[in-house]
């Protein structure tokens, strides 16, 4: 309803901290009563509003190559974060989720899970094409790709552009194409020299 629009507007204009339930009510032309009748708190409102705004960005278009699919999807995601300042919102939600287990659960199940399922489907297709080694752990792979994005989003220590995304996808996928533990030099035991290409 209009309440969600008001919430998302206010989070985008000012920060999370400046948004009060009263302000949402005023902007939406409604009252606190109505809001509290339907949501348990500010976090839930913004969560719903954010998900409503993000719904279209879930799909990953098959493109014949995992690299291309992933890079396109990551660029889309980043664009979603930076345009319309959804990044500020997700960032605030993650922040709030640290002290709000129900929000944390909602974030995982309603935001992360669908996107990870899409990525898993892409991995499946890639494995069918032989692009991906069967032993690779989907979770680690996904986090190796998306973790850096969220990392930079939340710390802001370095920018993200298409080149960075492609460099990231290249690096990670190149590592994921070879078997994850190719030689016999184990995880951390042998201090022997590793040939550059053999790692």
Region 106-165 residues binding a copy of itself, contact defined as CB under 8 A = 107-108, 112-113, 116, 129-131, 133, 136-137, 139-141, 143-144, 146-152, 154-158, 162-164
- Does 36 participate in binding DNA (rule CB under 7 A)? yes
Burial of 184 (0-12, 13-18, 19+ CB in 10 A): exposed
Which partner, DNA, a copy of itself, none, binds residue 34 by CB below 5 to 8 Å per kind?
DNA
For the window 101-140, what string marks contact with DNA as x by the rule CB under 7 A? ----------------------------------------
CA distances from 44 to 48, 99, 107 (A): 6, 13, 10
State the number of CA atoms in the 13 A half-sphere of 17 facing the CB. 1
Helical ranges in the chain per DSSP H: 2-13, 21-28, 32-38, 42-54, 66-82, 86-97, 101-106, 113-128, 138-155, 162-177
- Does 42 participate in binding DNA (rule CB under 7 A)? yes
Nearer to DNA, 14 or 129 (CB): 14
Q: Out of 41, 114, 148, 175, point to the residue binding DNA (CB under 7 A).
A: 41
- Per DSSP, the three-state class of 59 is coil
Q: Which of residues 30-89 bind a copy of itself (CB under 8 A)?
A: 63-65, 67-68, 71-72, 88
Q: Out of 32, 108, 174, 181, point to the residue binding DNA (CB under 7 A).
A: 32
User: Which of 98, 104, 2, 8 is closest to 53 using CA atoms?
Assistant: 8
CA distances from 71 to 30, 61, 74, 91, 99 (A): 42, 11, 5, 22, 33
Q: Which of residues 165-194 bind a copy of itself (CB under 8 A)?
A: 166-168, 170-178, 180-182, 185-194
- Does 98 participate in binding DNA (rule CB under 7 A)? no
Applying CB under 7 A, which residues contact DNA? 18-22, 29-34, 36-38, 41-42
């Amino acid at each position: 309803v209009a309440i969600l629009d008001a919430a998302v507007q206010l989070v985008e204009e000012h920060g999370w901290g400046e948004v009060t339930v009263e302000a949402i009510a005023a902007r939406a032309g409604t009252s606190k009563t109505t809001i509290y009748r339907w949501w348990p708190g500010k976090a839930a409102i913004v969560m719903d509003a954010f998900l409503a705004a993000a719904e279209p960005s879930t799909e990953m278009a098959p493109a014949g190559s995992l690299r291309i699919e992933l890079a396109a999807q990551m660029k889309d995601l980043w664009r979603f974060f930076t345009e319309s300042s959804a990044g500020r919102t997700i960032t605030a939600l993650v922040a709030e989720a640290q002290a709000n287990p129900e929000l944390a659960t909602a974030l995982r199940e309603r935001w992360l899970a669908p996107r990870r399922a899409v990525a898993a489907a892409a991995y499946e297709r890639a494995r069918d094409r032989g692009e991906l080694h069967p032993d690779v752990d989907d979770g680690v792979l996904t986090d190796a790709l998306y973790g850096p994005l969220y990392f930079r989003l939340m710390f802001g220590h370095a920018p993200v552009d298409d080149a960075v995304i492609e460099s990231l996808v290249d690096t990670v996928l190149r590592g994921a194409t070879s078997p994850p533990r190719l030689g016999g030099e184990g995880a951390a035991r042998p201090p022997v020299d590793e040939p550059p290409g053999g790692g």
